[in-house]
Amino acid sequence: MGATHARFISADESPRLSPCPDSPNCVSSQSTDEAHFIEPLHYSGSRDDARQKLIAILEGMNRVRLAGVDTDYIHAEFRSSVFRFVDDVNFWFPPDKPIIHVKSASRKGYYDFGANRRRVERLREAFE
């Protein structure tokens, strides 16, 4: 996987999604700055049930490709309808909390006009 959608990186080797760049075309539930921060997804029940539910939602969406699926991680690629730009959306299911950390980032460009934030909120609505 490339740097724009690396699974985990952390100086202390604790699991974390890769951080957002300085540009405003990324949101992450693990971001420490307000401009990039978005709430994680919450679930009740088992982690596996939540994972299967999220996969079903993603598979039912247009212009989405599941690029990587693991027991605690999902990487999806969203392609825009007009210019065919690809955005990477990463989901991490920590083993100790009923949440799903999410990062949505544009691969190219600088400003996304809020597309990544809107995408995560639509996913949240479908998930919850």
**Residue 116: inside a domain:** yes
pTM assigned to the model: 0.87
pLDDT score for 2: 39
Cβ-contact 66, 91 below 8 angstroms: no
In a domain, 8, yes or no: no
CATH classification at residue 37: 3.30.310.80
Q: Give tens-digit pLDDT for 66-80.
A: 999 999 999 999 998
**Count: domains in the chain:** 1
Does a structural domain hold residue 61? Answer: yes
pLDDT of residue 15: 65
Angle between helix 47-59 and helix 115-127 axes, rounded to 10 deg: 120
Instruction: Summarize the confidence of residues 37-41 as an average pLDDT.
Output: 98
